[in-house]
A and B are shown apart, each in its own frame.
Chain A
Amino acid sequence: MQLDQLPLNRVATISAIDWAALPEHEGHRLRSLGFEPGVVIEALHKGILFWRDPLSVRVGRMTVALRRKVAAAIDCEIVP
């Protein structure tokens, strides 16, 4: 499931990141913020009004805001 489809408040782990789909600087920043396969992730909030964009997600112990477009490049699996 892609991160932008992940229901709020469900703990998941990142299974894969499609680095090729991301512009270079975004991929680099994503990596330095700690996004990588195996990391625990949880969608916390969606943006304002009808856009519901960007997303705020928990990565490890950190909260990061990112846009849906970037989130769509991140595959994750819900932890049962």
Chain B
Amino acid sequence: MTEMTPLVALVGNPNAGKSALFNALTGARQKIANYPGVTVERKSGRATFADGRSVEMIDLPGAYSLDPDSLDEAVTRDVVLGRFDGQRRPDGLVIVLDAGNLDNHLRFALELIEQGLPTVVALNMVDLAERDGLMLSAEKLSAELGVPVIETVAVRKRGLDPLMAAVETELKKPRKVAEPVAISFGMQNARARHIAKSVILSETTGRQWTRRLDSVLLHPVGGVFILLALLFLMFQAVYSWSEAPIGLIESGFALLTDGINANLPDGLLRSFLTDGVIAGVGSVIVFLPQILILFLFILLLEASGYMTRAAFVMDRIMAAVGLSGHSFIPLLSSFACAIPGIMATRSIMDQKERLATILIAPLMTCSARLPVYTVIIGAFIPARSVGPGVGLQGLVLFGLYIAGILGAMLAASVIQRFVTKSSSSSFLIEMPRYQLPRVRDIALGLWQRAWVFLRRAGTIIFAATIILWALLSFPKAPEGGETSQVEYSIAGRIADGLEPIVRPIGFNHDIALALIPAMAAREVAVSALGTVYAIDAKDEEQAAQSLGPQLAAKWSLATALAFLAWFVFAPQCISTIAVTRRETNGWKWPIFMVTYLFALAYVAAGITYWTARSFGL
């Protein structure tokens, strides 16, 4: 019988540097999936012992104790205790401790050591502790805890080899039998504090960077402006930094189209490749730079420790609509994508607040809306400067984000008041010390996000594009007939049925057509329009023209603005609906969400259209 690869779990408090240690140990070869049956992210990877044998590592969700008060913590407890169906119990634990926070983190460590699994403690972030003037003795700590203690600085890869060597040694030792010990929480706490005190060699008042930065970033007035400025910079950057790479991607696809046109005879295959695949998938891939810039900001805010400060600054404002700063983090993540945002609501303790946050998360402008916004803004809003460093296009985009936020606040207060009937929200959170984000961790995070996006472009969007191309291309309109190919096709006929419904809000036939496949994912609306206009083009020259000018020629400004207003609210994303169903355990809430969002979208688009019309646009 071959020996099974040992499984070692990394476990510890939130903010102990667990993920950085996991990245350092396993490198880029990580698998991200969900634990069976729940939507808690399961990160696993492989590390190697000195002799080359490999060991499977899993990164358990951060927890404060084995007595959970969130879904994340429940997963950690169940895996550690071997109670989780479909996940074998780890053969050993690596407890990650924040060296600068032993008083508060040791209690959980004691609770974990009691479980009797082979255990090694990684005394992490010793450099930060030293920076703050704290000197510790790993030997003393090891003697007190009865398990090996290795000093590590995950972000600098310090102490990794000794850590793995200690894990190897512990795994070889005969297993101790865990005796259930009934020590009260208070006694454990007292013991933890006693140990923490005894291992401190010296303590001087350090430079206390965190405290100094906090007095600026949490300033009652200044802190608000800093947060707003940061968000504004983020959205401007999404526009200005992405111009060059987008141009590059566009010319790449143009070259590809030319190559196909030169080498393939005119016909169905050529139409399929250029009008279907390249026009469709290409018009979505083009937005990768913008999505990456947005994720870059969110990852940086998270890794630096600023994200919880943003929650602190926003808490009182969120409280005004019945939510709390806790909701701010999931909602901010929803600016990238509602799916991780909705999954991040698991950290909200209050179940009513959690539900309300899930229901409004799709109102945050996710990156999938960016392609839609960018194309329409590019086509209809002049690229004028309205002040130093502020472009009109960026300003309109900012306005759309604000519209989503205001809509969400309105929805939240109505939902908390009449639907969940919540009495009050709560806000209680650890504020980690500030850290310089490590390039490697950020790069890894970006790569994982880019991969998810490209996989979506390669699967869902690719499939939707091809189906749409087929629906648009068949049956063939008679040569020299009156009706255009689009009107004559199957899709054109479906859109005929939809058109009377959306006509009152200023939508034309082409938009009705694009809305159908955009149910799969919002950005498909752009590729759908791209495909529609490519197929409908009278000649090569017109087909080569990019989407923007074609829209500008065919739509009125009022229609374009109504289209933007629609996308601020419309719940056009199958994945979000699916995740909501999973997170709320049933169809009741996703159906509620879809209904109220479509109603909002319809009303908003209608108001926008008729207001614009009354101004003669």
Indicate which residue in B186, B220, B315, B426 contacts A36 across the interface (CB closer than 8 Å): B186
A: number of interface residues (CB 8 Å): 34
A51 to B189 Cα, complex, angstroms? 34
A17-41 to B contact mask, C-beta < 8 Å, 1/0: 0000001011011111110100100
**B interface, by DSSP: helix, strand, loop or mixed?**
helix
Q: Cβ of B426: which chain A residues have Cβ within 8 Å of it?
A: 23, 25-26, 67, 70
Minimum C-beta distance from B102 to chain A (A): 7
Q: B211-219, B231-239, B559-567: which lies at the A interface?
A: B211-219
Q: Is A79 an interface residue (CB 8 A)?
A: no
Q: B140-148, B427-435, B497-505, B528-536: which lies at the A interface?
A: B427-435
Q: Cβ of A65: which chain B residues have Cβ within 8 Å of it?
A: 308, 311-312, 315, 325, 427-431
Q: Is B104 an interface residue (CB 8 A)?
A: yes
Closest partner residue, chain A, to B215 (CB atom): A45
B309-337 to A contact mask, C-beta < 8 Å, 1/0: 00111011000000001000000000000
Contact A47 B104 (CB under 8 A): no
Contact A63 B210 (CB under 8 A): yes
Q: Cβ of A32: which chain B residues have Cβ within 8 Å of it?
A: 64-65, 67, 69
Summed over the interface, the residue pairs from A and B with CB atoms below 8 Å come to a total of 108
Indicate which residue in A54, A64, A69 contacts B325 across the interface (CB closer than 8 Å): A54
Contact A26 B428 (CB under 8 A): yes
Contact B103 A47 (CB under 8 A): no
Q: Cβ of B218: which chain A residues have Cβ within 8 Å of it?
A: 45, 47, 56
Query: CB within 8 Å of A: which of B54-104?
Result: 64-65, 67, 69, 100-104
Minimum C-beta distance from B18 to chain A (A): 16
Contact A67 B350 (CB under 8 A): no
Instruction: Name which of B325, B349, B428 has the most chain A CB atoms within 10 A of its CB.
Output: B428
Closest partner residue, chain A, to B351 (CB atom): A25
Q: Is A52 an interface residue (CB 8 A)?
A: yes
Q: Cβ of A59: which chain B residues have Cβ within 8 Å of it?
A: 104
Closest partner residue, chain B, to A49 (CB atom): B220
Contact A48 B64 (CB under 8 A): no
Minimum C-beta distance from A27 to chain B (A): 10
Minimum C-beta distance from A38 to chain B (A): 8
Enumerate 6 A-B pairs (CB-CB under 8 Å) in ascending A order.
A32-B67, A32-B69, A51-B316, A53-B315, A56-B214, A66-B428
Interface residues of chain A, those whose CB is within 8 Å of chain B, are 23, 25-26, 28-34, 36, 39, 44-49, 51-54, 56, 59-67, 69-70
* New A-B contacts (9) at CB < 8 Å, excluding given A33-B428, A45-B215, A45-B218: A29-B349, A32-B65, A34-B189, A47-B220, A47-B315, A48-B221, A61-B104, A62-B430, A64-B430
